Amino acid sequence: MALFKNQLKLMRAAAISVSVLVALVTGMMIYSASSNLIPASSFFSSYALILPILVGVIATLMCGDMGTRDFYYPAGLIVLAQPVKRWVAFMARFSASAILAIVPLTILFVSAAVGSNYFYGATMPGMLASFAVAVLYMLSFIAFIAFISIVAGEGAALTTGILISVMAVLFLLVLEHFYGIEPWFFLPYAGMSIGAVTSTPYPTHFVPNGIFPYTPYLSEAIEIMVGYTALSLASAIWFYSRREVL
């Protein structure tokens, strides 16, 4: 519990700056949408497209230092010598980070709702479902980044996280379009369902000649995200528990 609060405190500044960043990005998107008079439907879809990228970037910025927090700062010499089980310490930090990361995500969705209501008089359809999927996606991304950070350090975590989220579209294009494989093993593939749930009906799983032939079934996306979360957390805890403070 003490560690949970400590993590909240340590990350307060990061949470605020990421939130401001997110607010700026959304503000700009809504502004450009309104001034170019993009039709509502394409505003929604462009929003849904950019969401997984933003979620990935937020998660990376918030959790990239998970592994360095205790093992590289000299504070770890004291903090890790306290009578607290390592997995408890890790979960305290992880859950505090996750909760803080949901703040900018909420800002993102609320401003999308307000913005679209204001300009188009309608809210993005399936918005709540989309938010729920986005939260789960955020959770799995954070778990994955925390794992990388603990195993390979902050630099590797930041690089991996930003690369995966920013280049996701490219990776998906290559895997799906050119190799014709369903990339169920690639976390951002599940992220596609954040946008997919906003379209009715839910997109067809496989469209032979599409640019992105595959869209994950919602259940499949949830399985991927839950799988990533479980595996990443289990491995992160394994490494966090065995790691020595050299």
Partner 1 sequence: MDIEAINLTKRFGNRVALDNVSFRFSGPGAIGYLGPNGAGKTTTLKIFSHLLRPTYGKALINGIDVADGYAKALESVSALVETPEPYPKLSIKDFLTLIGGMRGLSREETTSRIAELKEKLSLEDLAVQGAKLSKGHKQRVALAATLMSDTDIMLLDEPTAGLDPAETYDVKKIIKELKRTRLVLMSSHLLDEVTELCDSVAFINKGRLLLTDTVKNVTNKFGKGKAGSAGLEDAYLKIIKGG
Residue ranges binding partner 1 (CB under 8 A): 1-3, 5-6, 9-10, 13, 73-85, 242, 244-246
Question: Which CA distances in Å does 111 have to 116, 127, 166?
Answer: 8, 12, 22
184: helix, coil or strand? coil
Integer Cα distance of 200 and 128 in angstroms:
14
Q: How far is CA 180 from the centre of its chain?
A: 26
Q: At what angle do helices 187-196 and 218-242 cross, to 10 degrees?
A: 140
Residue type (1 letter), 8: L
Q: At what angle do helices 127-152 and 86-120 cross, to 10 degrees?
A: 140
Cβ-based nearer residue to partner 1, 37 or 246: 246
Cβ-based nearer residue to partner 1, 99 or 226: 99
Token readout for 236 is 């992160």
Cβ-based nearer residue to partner 1, 2 or 114: 2
Cβ-based nearer residue to partner 1, 14 or 54: 14
Token readout for 60 is 């990376």
- Least spacing, CB of residue 74 vs partner 1, in Å: 4
Cβ-based nearer residue to partner 1, 74 or 121: 74
- Per the DSSP assignment, residues forming a β-bridge with 214 are 206
